[in-house]
Amino acid sequence: MATRDPEAKKRLLLDAALREFAAHGIAGARVDQIARAAGVSAGLVYTYFGSKDDLFAAVFDDIVAGTLTSTPITPDDLAEYAGRLFDRYEDRPEVQRFVNWYRLEAASTPQLHPASLASMVEKTRIIQEAQEAGTITRFLPAVDLLGVILQLASVWENATPEYSSLVAGHTRGQRRKVITDSVAALLRA
């Protein structure tokens, strides 16, 4: 007899939804495809998440929580923090594709995502405290420094195919070093 495990089913749905949303965005994603990939009924999607929009938000919540857990900010070594973010993006390219869809979808709504906003506020606070303690440059305000670090960490994931073709010979290690060296140079400013 099969056991009921709602949390395991939710996990399967979140993973399947991440792949479907990453491939098609919210408008193109199909709940029946998500359910099929998770091995559950489409009705269970609505039971657990309410709607496709709610499922999309739950996937984003899961991404934010996973990134915070696996890649905490380290104010004493922001270059390595950027390197770890790069590693996460490289290891899970579907996450960056999903986030790109999220940015497109979020641009059409004035509501900010609370968990993501709280994460950015906390990271900014951590950097600002390190700046006030004198351990990080004040060359840029904390919020701007965070933005530059986040963009540098994802530069390879967000590059156009044309630019990517120019650096196709770069190994993962070389790409990571460009990021960590760039952040380190920024912090010396």
Cα 96–chain centre separation = 6
Long-range contacts at 72-80 (CB < 8 A, ≥ 24 apart): 73/123, 73/126, 73/127, 75/126, 75/127, 75/129, 75/130, 75/135, 75/136, 76/130, 76/135, 78/127, 78/136, 78/145, 78/149, 78/183, 78/187, 79/180, 79/181, 79/183, 79/184, 79/187, 80/180
Cα dist. 131→128, 142, 144, 162 in Å? 5, 8, 13, 38
**Superfamily for the 1-59 domain:** Homeodomain-like (1.10.10.60)
Residues of the chain with pLDDT under 50: 1
Which CATH code for domain 71-188?
Answer: 1.10.357.10
Q: Which of 23, 12, 10, 16 is nearest to 49 (CA)?
A: 10
Q: Which two tokens stand for residue 70?
A: 């696996």
CA distance 68 to 2: 34
pLDDT (0 to 100) of residue 91: 94
Other CB atoms within 10 A of residue 130 CB: 19
Q: Which of 116, 105, 110 is nearest to 68 (CA)?
A: 116
CA distance 73 to 88: 13
pTM here?
0.86
Give the residue extent of every domain in the chain.
Answer: 1-59, 71-188
pLDDT (0 to 100) of residue 31: 96
